[in-house]
Amino acid sequence: MPCEDGPKFFNFEERQRQKARARQRDEERLERGEISPRELQEENMPFRKLRRDRVAIYRNKKTGEFVWAAFERKGGAKDGSED
């Protein structure tokens, strides 16, 4: 029996079982109509809250607030070129 105070190790087999159970729950939710495929995909995305239009450049040392850079898409030329 492993010691409770000892170091914790990653158990690959247990992680596989957890993922299999999660996939099974997801399939059941889809079958029951509790969630749409798109909602499920968004729920399972690791970076779902990542914004592509704003990026934190650094944190202000005095206030602790992030300084943001905005990246807005340009309209571009009507012929599809990037100019």
Helix pair angle (37-44, 12-32), 10° resolution: 150
pLDDT confidence of residue 9:
84
The whole-angstrom separation of Cα 53 and Cα 71 is 5
- Residue 19, CB-side half-sphere exposure with 13 Å CA sphere: 7
- Collect the ranges in the chain with pLDDT lower than 70: 1-4, 48-52, 73-83
Domain membership flag for residue 79? no
pLDDT confidence of residue 28:
97
Please tell me the total count of domains within the chain. 1
pLDDT confidence of residue 48:
62
- Residue 47, CB-side half-sphere exposure with 13 Å CA sphere: 3
Domain membership flag for residue 47? yes
Find the domain containing 39 and state its range: 12-70
Q: What pTM, to 2 d.p., does this model score? A: 0.48
35-54 pLDDT, tens digit each:
999 999 888 887 766 666 77
